[in-house]
């Protein structure tokens, strides 16, 4: 007999929702852990930077709204744009190294 077929699928969804919720929580937890790792890596590199390089980071990434170009940042720091970009690259590489991505 085919009387026991679950045509609407209602009961299966009841089981699926908690599983979905747990999966979502796990994904959020993993993303939060990754963000914590990134924040820790950035902080550990930042605190060791020379004062002028810290100023570059503040001007470029932590000043809101961000309206300065690399030229403007370089001018404010009394360095060339090329030097500013070289500093940025060094900082990015140092952070990547902390994260084990280099």
For residue 86, being part of any structural domain is answered with yes
- Count of CA atoms in the C-beta half-sphere (13 A) of 54: 9
pLDDT for the residue 11: 55
Query: Could you tell me the CA-to-CA distances from 47 to 22, 51, 62 in Å, in that order?
Result: 37, 9, 15
pTM of the model: 0.70
Locate tokens 């747990």: which residue?
Answer: 22
Q: What total number of domains does the chain contain?
A: 1
27 lies in which domain range?
10-98
13-69 pLDDT, tens digit per residue, is 555 688 888 888 888 888 999 999 999 999 999 999 999 999 999 999 988 888 899
C-alpha 34/C-alpha 28 separation (Å) is 10
Average the pLDDT over 72-101 and give the result: 96
Provide the CATH number for the domain around residue 31: 1.10.10
């Amino acid at each position: 007999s085919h009387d026991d077929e679950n045509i609407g699928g209602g009961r299966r969804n009841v089981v699926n929702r908690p599983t979905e919720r747990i999966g979502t929580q796990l994904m959020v937890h993993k993303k939060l852990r990754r963000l914590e790792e990134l924040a820790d890596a950035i902080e550990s590199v930042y605190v060791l930077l020379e004062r002028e390089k810290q100023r570059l980071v503040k001007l470029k990434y932590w000043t809101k709204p961000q309206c300065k170009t690399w030229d403007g940042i370089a001018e404010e720091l009394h360095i060339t744009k090329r030097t500013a970009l070289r500093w940025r690259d060094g900082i990015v590489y140092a952070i990547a190294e902390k994260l084990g991505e280099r």
